[in-house]
Amino acid sequence: MRPMLAAGESLSFTLSQELTVIVLCALTALISHLALAVFNDGVRPFLLDFIRGGSTRGATAAVSFGLSAGFIFGLGAPMALSTGVLNPWLLFLPTDVLGLLAPRRWLAPLLGAGWGAIVVFALGGANSAAHELPVDFLTAMQEMSTPILFLFTLFPVLAIVRQFGRVHGAVAGVIELVLVVMTMKLWPKMFAGALAMAVGVLMLIGFAVAQDVRRRREERAAAATAPGTSAATPAAAETSGADDPMASLFSANALRLRRHLPLFMLLGAGVCLLAQMHVFGGGEATSFLIAKGDHSGAAQVDFYRVFGFVPLIATTALASGAYGIAGFTLVYPIGYLLPSPYLAVVCGALVFAAEVLALSAIGRALGRLPSVRDSSEHLRGAISDTIELAILFGSLMAANTMGGGLGILIVGGLYLLNEAMGRKVVRMAAAPAAVLVGGVLLNVLYWLDLFTPIKS
């Protein structure tokens, strides 16, 4: 297995990597066609209606495309071209759409394999051609790495502020800042935000668990003081749970997923194997870390993200009967760290098996821990906000690198125009897309002798 390409070099893959991408895209398209799993969290709730026959395949595919197109072309493609690392928006969002769109089961894996082939064979050519242009906007996009990596470190602080207030957030912010400075001073080879993020996430979970424990104690105390309720409460709760139609639906959907356990194990093996090859990053910050060869840092970042997505994926899977293509995303950090592709295949399969089998138990646990469940929502919102700001700031830095004030005018103007038009492109993808369009436009101006590229 060859070492990972550095950011900015040509995208090229070994035969084993090409085959892995193509086969995995075929598999994810087939699973999407069967409505067993999709990558886009926003599409998953629509699948219950499709599974029950209340929505057509074409209508569901149209929803998937509408929710995914901006991320594919505005985030997935620019991130892959600028880092030299593949990502889930580029690979799995298109196979969501292709799988749902395919009218026949046999056609879905063929369409998915075709997309995988386009990615591994055509992306490298586009990358090489872009680097030969007078205005090399792909190299300029590497300016995005610093704001993404460092601002991403703050997402636990934002989540703590939103859930537990300014005092808790201020304490967490000071602690994270101290840890970042300490890490940069004492362990310069380590990703500076790794320890700070770990402590921030642990603080958030600790606050949430403490709040849930305190609430349960208060409820028990109130129940104990209420006459005639303590003995009847457990039985009433059990009866209520047995008659709950949502509990029945969750149970049926969990059983549906368990019936396809071998297919999910194959999916987990494939995703973990791709992560182990170090040509794939599960997130924005992760892609840059993988590109720099910092696999342990990438594993830490993606591991912390898991806490924000387990409740969302578990509850939507139980409610819709469709799982996530990457599961709880635990296979990402595991794959980055494993030394052998064979171990990756085995571990990925076992992790997915454990996740699918544990869905019902996770759903029940989340029902008893409302503050922990709320924490995941605050984490996801904080991740989105920090990444949006980091990508916007990084995109303006890239615009300045490739075109100075004119570059900032074009890229910033396109971003603001998108905002004024009601966000035709989702905010997170709008800025990278503006850099690509701005880079093309600056090259056109150069060929018209109206612009002189800035010397690096």
Q: Which pLDDT tens digit goes with each residue over 2-19?
A: 333 344 445 778 999 999
pLDDT digits (tens, 9 = 90+) for 83-104: 889 999 999 999 999 999 999 9
Q: Domain residues of the chain, as ranges?
A: 15-152+244-447
Taking the C-alpha atoms of residue 456 and residue 46, their distance in angstroms, rounded to an integer, is 48
What confidence score (pLDDT) does residue 244 get?
53
Taking the C-alpha atoms of residue 46 and residue 132, their distance in angstroms, rounded to an integer, is 44
What confidence score (pLDDT) does residue 239 get?
44
Mean pLDDT of 374-396: 91
Of the segments 1-5, 201-205, 406-410, which one has the largest average pLDDT value?
A: 406-410
Residue type, 43: V
What confidence score (pLDDT) does residue 124 get?
79
pLDDT digits (tens, 9 = 90+) for 146-198: 899 899 899 999 999 999 999 999 999 999 999 999 999 998 888 888 889 98
What confidence score (pLDDT) does residue 227 get?
66
- Please tell me the pTM assigned to this model: 0.86
pLDDT, mean over the chain: 88
CB burial of 389-415 (b: ≥16 within 10 Å; e: otherwise) equals bbbbbbbbbbbbbbbeebbbebbbebb
Instruction: Give how far Cα 303 sits from Cα of 185, 250, 335, Å.
Output: 24, 26, 11
Greater confidence (246 vs 175) lies with 175
